[in-house]
Amino acid sequence: MVAPAQAQDASQAPPSEQENIVDPAAQIADDELKSVAAAFVALEDLKATYEARLSEAADDEAAESVKQEMDTAKNETLANAGVSAERYEEVLTLAQVDPELNQRLQAEIAAVKEAQGSGS
């Protein structure tokens, strides 16, 4: 009588791990991707501004001060875009390995840049 019980347990076995894997890039909503794209564009501008200031820093102490200001500005920019630093980095990392996500992100970045160029 033990054999039928074991057969029943086997038929109710959970799906394999591979069946449970969900593509994390597919789970990124358009709104979140727009937030990441907006942050990306804003951070590009921020980086350019602070790199210029960093190159003009008189000494190591001044350079460190500029770096701290840049970190604060980066965190504020991400918060204003509605995305955490961790999630921002995660989405960018996923975009590097997922061509479809990369394409979606590039399209959103282009849209943000276009909107900024049109004075919006």
Q: How far apart are the first and last CA of the chain?
A: 74
**Range(s) of the domain holding residue 85:** 30-117
Whether 12 is covered by a domain: the verdict is no
The 10s digit of each residue's pLDDT in 77-112 is: 999 999 999 999 999 999 999 999 999 999 999 999
- Residue of 40, 34, 108 whose CA lies nearest to 74: 40
**Quick one: pLDDT at residue 90?**
96
Which distant-in-sequence residues (6+ apart) come within 8 Å of 62 by Cβ?
Answer: none
d(CA 86, CA 75): 11
Q: Identify the residue whose tokens are 């009588």.
A: 1
Q: Is residue 109 part of a domain?
A: yes
pLDDT at position 117: 87
Residue 16: predicted pLDDT:
46
Q: Give residue 24's pLDDT.
A: 67
DSSP string, 37-92: HHHHHHHHHHHHHHHHHHHT-SSHHHHHHHHHHHHHHHHHHHHHHT--HHHHHHHH
**Could you give the C-alpha distances from 87 to 22, 39, 74, 78, 93, in angstroms and in order?**
17, 11, 14, 10, 10
**Comparison of pLDDT for 2 and 60, the residue scoring more:** 60
Q: Looking at residue 119, what is its pLDDT? A: 53
Is residue 44 situated within a structural domain?
yes
User: What's the alpha-carbon Rg for the chain, to the nearest Å?
Assistant: 23
The verdict on residue 20 lying in a domain is no
- pLDDT for 87: 96
Looking at the domain assignment, is residue 42 inside a domain? yes
The total domain count for the chain is 1
Tens digits of residue pLDDT in 30-63 = 999 999 999 999 999 999 999 999 999 999 999 9
